Amino acid sequence: MRASRGFTLIEVLVAMIVIAIGLLGIAKMQGLAYSSTSVASTRSLAALEASSLAASMHANRAYWGAGVVNPAGVTVTGAAISDANLAVPVDCTTGGGAAATPVCVPLQLAAYDLQRWAAAVSTLLPNPVSTIQCTNVVTAPVDCTIQISWGENAVAINKQGLALAGATFNVPTYILNVEP
């Protein structure tokens, strides 16, 4: 019997197949990691924008804290605002007074803040729909809820996964409760 030395061609081919499968798995993991980073970035932008509006609501308590917001809420689709009072274009950065300071009543300031916020959200998030609802209970302070929903792209989903997910797939929602 002859002693075998070295590798046979079959062993080398099997080793190459195992390495190729491992490299494909690593490539797939890298794609999913990149997608997850994008999703996390979009979600953090939604959180930052919601807290930005909350800060504007705190600064303008004369409007948001007075309980004069439409009980049905304000819906912002893209940059379009459903409430006619808040959809009127207002510029609170220039003033007409003698001291050249901005002169805006609380409603105008709320409209100005909401319009700038809606423009920022529609620029940063894909297909955003936002709702701002405030409750006005006589015995309690005003409580507002900011809800932002947007479209999100999915990676590595097949037809079966899409059928299982239903119509609500790829529509994450961020909700923030505010007491102006």
Mean pLDDT by 10 residues, the chain (180 residues): 70 93 93 80 92 94 83 87 88 62 82 93 90 80 91 62 58 90
- State residue 3's pLDDT score: 63
Q: What SS3 state is found at 140?
A: coil
- State residue 24's pLDDT score: 94
Residue 77 token pair: 């689709």
Rg (CA), the chain: 27
Answer yes or no: are the C-beta atoms of 148 and 173 closer than 8 Å.
yes
- State residue 127's pLDDT score: 85
pTM across the whole model: 0.72
Q: How far apart are the first and last CA of the chain?
A: 90
Give the H/E segment covering residue 73: none
List CB contacts of 51: < 8 A, sequence separation 6 or more.
176
- State residue 101's pLDDT score: 58
> What is the distance of C-alpha 122 from the center of its chain?
10
- State residue 166's pLDDT score: 53
The CA distance from 100 to 61, in Å, is: 24
- State residue 177's pLDDT score: 93
